[in-house]
Amino acid sequence: MTKKILNQNDIINTEILNSYDLDGIFSNNPINRLKSEPTVEDKTLKLKNLKEKIQSIDDCKLKENASKIVFADGNIESPIMIVGEGPGQKEDEQGKPFVGDAGILLNKMLNAINLKREDIYITNVVNFRPPNNRKPEPIEITRYSSFLREHIAVIDPKILILMGSTAMESLFGSKIKISKERGNWKEIIINNKTYLVMITFHPAYLLRQPDQKKYSWLDLKKIRAKIDEIGLNF
């Protein structure tokens, strides 16, 4: 009887052991994980599928008026992700976010805290240019917010920077005001994971209201301090 019980226990223990990723448990990495981190190939495939999903949406005024999708730009392995509002004319022409005057200012803002654009991942709330560069309508922000949340989950950044009220509204709703929320670290949960968020003014707004740049500079310094605090390699 004892031998039979032991054999059964051996079988159960073997099944349990086989259910774990032993390569992850006994790896040489500083932090052992039951599941390995997504590879670049995994992320690339998920982003490709997401882009195709957005391209295939129907009954969308934004898509009907745009010349092409403006999906994202930058390093998909970056721990920092920036979310803007939507493409303008130059972005629509080139298929990349932040390539107009606002993009030039964004590059300067990043350089001011020793970051390079190519080291960051950048996208927008909506991926098609709104007619006449108007602000996306609430129903459009809501529709695209699900895509944005999926996008964030794939990139899995350590720091998420929301530039402008549209980016803020897409994740936190329209009841809060950017003038009160900018410059404060917030958290958001997406797919059961908590992300650290900084809300700041959009570069296009700063071009129209240059006197507000002093507040954006305060936000940038907080971002730089957080980068150093959590040990990101920039």
Listed by start position, the domains of the chain span: 1-36, 38-229
Q: Which helix (H) or strand (E) holds 2?
A: helix 2-18
CA-based radius of gyration for the chain: 22
What pLDDT, on a 0 to 100 scale, did the predictor assign at position 19? 42
Rounded percentage of the chain residues whose pLDDT exceeds 70: 85
pLDDT above 60 (res 105) = yes
pLDDT at 69 over 70: yes
The yes-or-no verdict on residue 23 having pLDDT over 90 is no
Domain 38-229 matching CATH 1.10.20.60: the answer reads no
Average pLDDT, the chain: 89
Burial of 96 (0-12, 13-18, 19+ CB in 10 A): middle
> Is 171 in contact with 197 (CB distance < 8 Å)?
yes
Higher-scoring residue by pLDDT: 25, 3: 3
Element (H, E) at 77: none
Find, among 109, 66, 134, 121, the residue nearest to 207 by Cα: 109
- Would you place residue 199 in the very low, low, confident or very high pLDDT band (cuts 50, 70, 90)? very high
The residue-averaged pLDDT of 137-148 equals: 97
* pLDDT higher than threshold 50 for residue 230: yes
Q: 38 falls in which pLDDT band (50, 70, 90)? A: confident
Residue 112 has pLDDT above 50, yes or no: yes
Evaluate the CA torsion angle 169, 175, 227, 88 in order and state its sign. positive
Give dist(CA 140, CA 128) in Å, integer.
11
Q: Is residue 28 predicted with pLDDT exceeding 60?
A: no
**pLDDT at residue 7, as a whole number:** 52
pLDDT confidence of residue 10:
52
Short-list 106, 60, 108, CA closest to 84: 106
3-state secondary structure of 122: strand
pLDDT in tens, 2-17: 444 445 445 444 443 4
Q: Which pLDDT tens digit goes with each residue over 211-220?
A: 999 999 999 9
pLDDT of residue 234: 86
